[in-house]
Amino acid sequence: MAKQQQVVIVGGGVIGLLTAFNLAADVDSIVLLDRSNVGQESSWAGGGIVSPLYPWRYSPAVTALAHWSQDFYPQLGEHLLARTGLDPEVHTTGLYWLDLDDEAEALAWAQRESRPLRAVDISAVHDAVPVLGPGFNRAVYMADVANVRNPRLVKSLKAALLALPNVTLHEQCEVSGFVRDGDRVVGVQTKQGEIRGDQVVLTAGAWSGDLLKSLGLELPVEPVKGQMILYKCAADFLPRMVLAKGRYAIPRRDGHILIGSTLEHEGFDKTPTEAALESLKASAIDLIPALADAERVGHWAGLRPGSPEGIPFIGAVPGFAGLWLNCGHYRNGLVLAPASCQLFADVLLGRKPIIDPAPYAPAGRI
């Protein structure tokens, strides 16, 4: 595709920010719009494990994006740190899964996909993670799993974009609909007026489906609430990530420990609840009994962009020339962002794609 005059990106989470970053060298100008401040929704609220929670339970489409992203994240972190001085803290700790019901399937997947997941003796887990609670019997471990400090990733991406002369960020700029010229989408409507573009990219996470309804399209992306709690401990308190019964503990470098997360279908309500707090605290103490006495410094909720099988929509919207999607990443937006945004840029710009784009194409799925 020829160099674009202007690309309008709707939604300033990690997907929107990284989409803008990946396109900036090849388009004349980019306008990125967000209804609040960039990166304040699920990009801020998530845990940042650079792996699906149970990677062997996903389709090859999700796996392909996850593997590319996992391999790329360390250099993305280094690149953003060098450009902005803001470190996204891509922190490789490894991850222990405890007492899996489908351990055999996990190990078979690892062998098939050549991923370094292996069974380990539970005593080795207690040696590596002395604060782990009692009562666990089996474990599998993957050494190269990292976590990214997602609020810092957002800040770093924003700073990188603000330094680019051809990128404009408009925060507090809610999009209410699309501007059309026949079958072509030529811009968006906002309270501040129309903003025109040669291409319009929807990266609005859980809000993407609502926006497309104005075009008569039914995109199966809906908000799925997740709640988290945060503790402050010593910097070396938890050396590895641990996951059991769908709940995880993630250490940050400075001793913050994230515990998550719930899975709730409550529409766009993201009010933290007492019931979820008690459930998360119980999971935290089950995993790491010492957290019963630790300082709890946060409790929040975010809205994931739920989608069928967690397969994102990446590509052109059929019947609406000029309109593109990069959304619907469900529980894995932070994991899949580098690959999704690179693939999106490849498709938009007509380059050879990093992986086969067919499974993510909106055509036939909306």
Asked whether residue 212 carries a pLDDT value surpassing 60, the answer given is: yes
> pLDDT at position 4, please?
66
In which band, very low, low, confident or very high, does the pLDDT at 12 lie, cut at 50, 70 and 90? very high
Average pLDDT score over residue span 303-327: 97
Average pLDDT score over residue span 92-103: 97
CATH assignment at residue 190: 3.50.50.60
If asked whether residues 158 and 300 sit together in one domain, one would say: no
Asked whether residue 2 carries a pLDDT value surpassing 60, the answer given is: no
Q: How many angstroms separate the Cα of 187 from the Cα of each of 161, 319, 346?
A: 21, 16, 22
**What H or E segment, with its residue span, contains residue 69?**
helix 60-84
If asked whether residues 276 and 157 sit together in one domain, one would say: no
If asked whether residues 285 and 227 sit together in one domain, one would say: yes
Domain closes at, from 306, 330, 347: 306
If asked whether residues 331 and 316 sit together in one domain, one would say: yes
Asked whether residue 358 carries a pLDDT value surpassing 80, the answer given is: yes
pTM of the model: 0.96
In which band, very low, low, confident or very high, does the pLDDT at 1 lie, cut at 50, 70 and 90? very low
Across 1-15, 231-245, 275-289, 324-338, least confident range: 1-15
Q: What is the span of the domain harbouring residue 130?
A: 95-143+222-306
If asked whether residues 138 and 226 sit together in one domain, one would say: yes
Domain closes at, from 306, 323, 347: 306
Per-residue pLDDT of 38-71, as tens digits, reads 999 999 999 999 999 999 999 999 999 999 999 9
- Grouping H, G, I as helix, E, B as strand and the rest as coil, residue 43 is helix
Q: Would residue 236 count as lying in a domain?
A: yes
Q: Would residue 158 count as lying in a domain?
A: yes
The gap between the terminal CA atoms of the chain, to the nearest Å, is 24
If asked whether residues 136 and 227 sit together in one domain, one would say: yes
Q: Would residue 52 count as lying in a domain?
A: no
In which band, very low, low, confident or very high, does the pLDDT at 3 lie, cut at 50, 70 and 90? low
Q: Would residue 70 count as lying in a domain?
A: no
If asked whether residues 14 and 122 sit together in one domain, one would say: no
Asked whether residue 213 carries a pLDDT value surpassing 90, the answer given is: yes
d(CA 33, CA 9): 6
Q: Would residue 54 count as lying in a domain?
A: no
Q: Would residue 79 count as lying in a domain?
A: no
> pLDDT at position 244, please?
97
> Checking DSSP bridges between strand 27-33 and strand 167-170, what pairing results, if any?
parallel
In which band, very low, low, confident or very high, does the pLDDT at 5 lie, cut at 50, 70 and 90? confident
Q: How many domains does the chain have?
A: 2
Nearest to 153 by CA among 201, 62, 88: 88
If asked whether residues 176 and 281 sit together in one domain, one would say: no
Q: Would residue 340 count as lying in a domain?
A: yes
If asked whether residues 165 and 181 sit together in one domain, one would say: yes
CATH assignment at residue 136: 3.30.9.10
If asked whether residues 162 and 302 sit together in one domain, one would say: no
Q: Would residue 331 count as lying in a domain?
A: yes
Residue 82 exposed, middle or buried by CB count within 10 Å (0-12, 13-18, 19+): exposed
Domain closes at, from 291, 306, 321: 306
Per-residue pLDDT of 241-284, as tens digits, reads 999 999 999 999 999 999 999 999 999 999 999 999 999 999 99
If asked whether residues 236 and 289 sit together in one domain, one would say: yes
If asked whether residues 241 and 299 sit together in one domain, one would say: yes
Average pLDDT taken over every residue of the chain: 96
